[in-house]
Chains A and B, each alone.
Chain A
Amino acid sequence: MASSISLPRAESTNPLLNALRIVPGILLLAGIGYAGKILEHSVNAYAKSHHWTFPNIEYVLWAILIGLIISNILAIPKIFQPGIATYEFWLKLGIVLLGTRFVLADVLKLGGISLRLVVIEITLSLALMTLLGRLFKLKPKLTSLLAIGSAVCGVSAIIAAKGAIDADDEDSSFAIAAILALGALSLFTFPAIAHGLHMTDVSYGLWAGLGVDNTAEATAAGALYSDAAGKVAVLAKTARNAMIGFVVLGYALYWSGRGQAEAITNKAAFLWKKFPKFVLGFLLMSLLVGFHAFSKGQVASLGNLSKWAFLLTFAGVGLRTNLRDTSKQGLRPFIVGALGEVLIACLTLGLVVGANRIWGL
C-alpha cells in the first residue's frame, strides 16, 4: 500500500544495501509486466492463426491478473516487498513522462473541462459520503476519511488526511481497505459498462479519471479501454489529485475547530506540502514538447518510457490487492464505500454525458 512506499527508504546506513533491497521486487514487477505484454501478443496471434473470435485482452489486464493470482494464491516472500512498494514511484514517473504525449493546448482544453467537472464531483461526492456515513452511523472521522478517499484520490488522500485530522490507525485501515477493494472492482466494471454504452475514448477517459478513486486504478481502468482513453484518464485524475490539498485543508480546519486535530498555522505552507508535485512535472513536460525541446523521435522514446513505467505500476496494482485482507475488514464501512462508489460512478457518468453535450468531447 501507499503507506509502505520506500524509494529508497533508509533501513540501513549503507545506501547500496538500501538500493539492493528494492531490486528483487522491481524485477518481479518487471517480470510480471513483461509476461503480460508477451501474453497479449501470444494470445492474440494464436487466436488469429486459428481464426477465433477472441476479445483483445491488453497487457494491462494480463499484468493485473498475474499480480492478483500471485498475491492471492501464493505467498509473496518478504524479500520482494520493498521493491513491490515502489509501484507508486513508477506510477508518478509514468505520469510525468506522459506529459510529453500531450500538446499543451489539449492539456489546457481537457484539463480545464476536467477541473470544472472535478470541482462538481468533489463537492457532490463529499456531501454524499458524509450523508451515507451518518445514515449508517459510522464514526465521524472514518466518514471523513471515506469521503476524502472517494472524492479526491483514494489511498494517498486518506493517508494525507489521516495526519491532518488526527484519525485512528484502525479507521484509516478500514477506509483504505474499502477504497482498494472498490478500486479493484472498478477495473472490471468501468470498461465493461463503457463498452456497453459505446463511449468515446475521451468520454470514457474522463469518466475513469473522475470516477475511479486511486490513481493507479484510474490509470489502469483507462488503459484497459484504449491507449487514448488511458491518456485522458490520467489527465482527469491529475486534475483531481491537484485538489487534494484544498480538501484535506478543509477537513483539517473543521476538525481542529472542534478541538480534535492540531490547528493549522500556515495555510499556504499546508497546501504546498499536500500538493502533488508530479502534477507540475507533467505540465513541465507538456510545455517542453510545446516549445519543441524534443524531436519527434525523442517524444516517441519518452512516451515509450512512460509506458514501461506504467507496466511496472499495473503489475504492482495486482500484487498489492489482497482479497483475503480486504474481506477481514468491517462490513459497514465497505457497504458505505460501495454504495457511495456506485452513486459517484453514476454521478460522474452523468457529468461526462452532460459535458459531452456541452463541449462535444
Chain B
Amino acid sequence: MNFDADLLARLQFAFTIAFHIIFPSFTIGLASFLAVLEGLWLTTRRPVFRNLYLFWVKVFALSFGMGVVSGVVMSYEIGTNWAEFAKASAPVIGPLLAFEVLTAFFLEASFLGVMLFGWRRVGPGLHFLATLLVAVGTLVSAFWIISANSWMQHPTGFVELADGSLRATDWMAVIFSPTFASRFVHMSLAAYLTTALAVGAASAWALLKDDDQPESRMALRMAIGMFAIVAPLQLLAGHESGKMVLEHQPLKTAAIEAYWRTGPDQPQSLVGLPDRDAGKTHLEVAVPGVGNLIQGVPKDRVLQGLDAFPRADWPVVGLVYWSFRLMVGLGLAMIALGGWGAWLMARKRLDQSVWFLRAAVAMGPAGFVAVIAGWIVAEVGRQPWTIYGVLRTADSASPVGAGQVSASLLAFMVIYAIVFSAGAVYILRLIDKGPEPGPEPLPSGDGRAPGTALAAVPPEPEA
C-alpha cells in the first residue's frame, strides 16, 4: 500500500470522524432520555427520576463537550486536506453545514447552560423547556448532517459549472435527496439504540455491584424497554436503507454482498474472505438463491455484480463486506438482548438474572461499534468518490505533501489519545460511581413522603 497524501488525508479524516461520531450518537439519545426523565419527574415527582437526571446530565455535558471539540477539528480538516472538495462543493454543502450550526448547534449550546446551571433560577417548567430544546437540537443537528452526507451519496438538485464548481438549482432536492429519509431514520434509531445500550450497561454494572439501587433498576428497565422496541425497528429501517443503496449505488451493494458477477438469483454470502484481486470470496459460506429475496427484489431480476464496474472504481470490498456483517451481527445481538430482557421483565426475574446483567454490560459498547461499522459501510462503500458520480476522492484533496499530512495525522493521534482518553476515563469513573440517591423528600407530618402515591390519599379525620 502506497501511503501518499490522498490516502493519509483519508486516514486522518476516518480517524477523526470515527472518534467524533461516538459522541453525537450518544448525546442524541441521551438528550431525549433526559427529557423523558425530567418529564417523568415533573409528572410523578418520584425522586428516582430526578436522581437519574442529575447523574446522566453530567455524562451528557461531558460527551457534548467532547463531541463539539472533535467536530470542530473536522470542519478545519476539510479546509486543510480537502480544499478541492471544499472549492467545488461549498456552494451546496456549505449552507447545509451553516444551517446545522445556526439552527441546531446554537440551540443545543445555548440551552445546555440553562439545563446545567438554571434549574432553581428558572424553575421546573422553563428548565424542562430547555431540556426539550436541547433534545430537539440534537435531532435537528443530525438532520442537517445526514442531509449533507446523503447528498454526497446521491447528489440531486444541482448543476456543475464550467470551472468544476457546483451550484444548487433546487434546495429541496438538495436537502431531501432520495436516500435522506431512510438514512436519517436509520441514524436516529442507531443513536437511540447506542444510548439505551450504554445506559443499560451502566445500570447493569451498578446492579451487579449492589442490587439495592432503585435508580439503576429503573434505568435498566427503561433501557430494556427502549432497545426491545427500537432494535427490531432498526432492522426494518436498515433494510429500507439497503434498498435505497441497491437502487442508487449498486456498486456499494455489490461490495457489501460480495456479488462478483452480474446476474439474477444471487446467493446470500454469510461469511467469507473477499479477495479483490482474485475477484472471489475464499472460504465462503453462502445460501444460494436467497440474495434477491433479502434485497427485496424478484428472483429473476438481474443484480449488478462488481464485474459490471471498472475495477479501478471498486471500493475496498473486504472492509465494506466485514463492516456490514459486524453491524448486522451486533444488531441481531441487540434484538436478542432486548427480547431476553423483556421476557425476564415480564416474568419479574430481571434482578435475579446475573447472566443477563453481565450480557447487558458486555453489550454496552455494541452501539458505538455498530455505528462506526455502519459509517465505514457508507463511506468506504462510496469510494472512489467523495460526491458519488460527480467528484472523485483523488480530485478532492488539497495540494499538500504526504509529509505535512502525516505530521498532522500523528499530532491528531497523540492529542486525541490524551484528550479523549482522559474524557472517556472520567466518564467511565462517573458511571462506575453510579447515580447518587440524593436527598429524599422530607416526610410530611403524618410520615408520608410528598410526591408518593400515599401522600395523595387524604388524611383520615381525627376523631
A and B pair up: no
Interface residues, chain B, CB within 8 Å of chain A?
none
A: residues with CB less than 8 A from B are none
